[in-house]
Amino acid sequence: MKYAFSTNAFRRYTLADSIRALAEIGYEGVEIMADAPHAFPAALTEADIEAIRETLRSNGVAISNVNAFMHHADGDTYHPTWIENDPALRAKRVDYTLRCIDLGAALGAETISAEPGGPLEGGMTAEEGFRIYREGLAAVEERAREKGIRILIEPEPDLLIENSAQFLRMHRELDPAVFGLNFDIGHFYCVGEDPKALVKELQGCTSHYHLEDIASTRKHHHLMLGEGAIDIPGVLQSISDAGYDGFVTVELYTYEDQPIEAARQAFAYLKSLDL
């Protein structure tokens, strides 16, 4: 497997400087945040996209994934969601995702990660949320198929889809050639699941992994690798044993005040495991 680092920890840096810093540390890949201030698709020109391609080429770094989850440029981390009560806001999320698909294709990415519906708000039931989310995914399916991009749903605590059972329920209704799983190791741990055991169960759906540590309280707060309660060596060994040869991306956006130091410490931890 290969290691990458998500640029969502580098919101105080330009995307180019983030890529250069991660390449210097030794990461083979970067996950690009499709949000301000890095690569919000609606704000990018063709020249901007070519500049990103050139920065990746000149630093010998690949794209592990395009993070199409956060939406601060036009809302916040979650909003506008796929399941807003207001159809106009749902349309904004769909339009954003279509643009992320185009961006991913232009940059040579294979996947984008997507919000798992969003928080249930305004009295919306889970059943209604699933129905509306499915309609939103249907609206982006053909574009993803045409562009050769796989859309990866990322379960997260307190959102519509937060555990493996809910993900599988949705995934059974989708085309597996177009939709898959962004397996966030910490998120599954937060909701009481064993990520090490889930690797094998979900390996047929998984195209990318997020990695962070989580405290024994299972509170959703991303910690430095080795400073929480997750058996990270065991999880990574399970991923290796499953024959996965793609990217595992470290996601430590909680270290925005010291992203280079965090990226360097995480890289040293991973290399010490010698997997």
**Which pLDDT tens digit goes with each residue over 142-187?**
999 999 999 999 999 999 999 999 999 999 999 999 999 999 999 9
Q: What is the mean pLDDT of residues 217-243?
A: 97
Cα separation of 5 and 247, whole Å?
Answer: 10
Is the pLDDT at 57 greater than 90? The verdict is yes
Q: What is the mean pLDDT of residues 68-76?
A: 92
Cα separation of 99 and 104, whole Å?
Answer: 9
Q: Are 93 and 87 in contact (CB under 8 A)?
A: no
Q: How many residues would you count in the chain?
A: 275
- 3-class DSSP state for residue 26? coil
Share of the chain above pLDDT 90, in %: 97
Which residues are bridge partners to 65 per DSSP?
Answer: 31
pLDDT band at 275 (very low <50, low <70, confident <90, very high): confident
Cα separation of 167 and 89, whole Å?
Answer: 23
CB count in 10 Å sphere of residue 230 = 26
Cα separation of 235 and 183, whole Å?
Answer: 12
Cα separation of 168 and 54, whole Å?
Answer: 38
Q: Are 202 and 238 in contact (CB under 8 A)?
A: no
Is the pLDDT at 274 greater than 90? The verdict is no
Is the pLDDT at 40 greater than 90? The verdict is yes
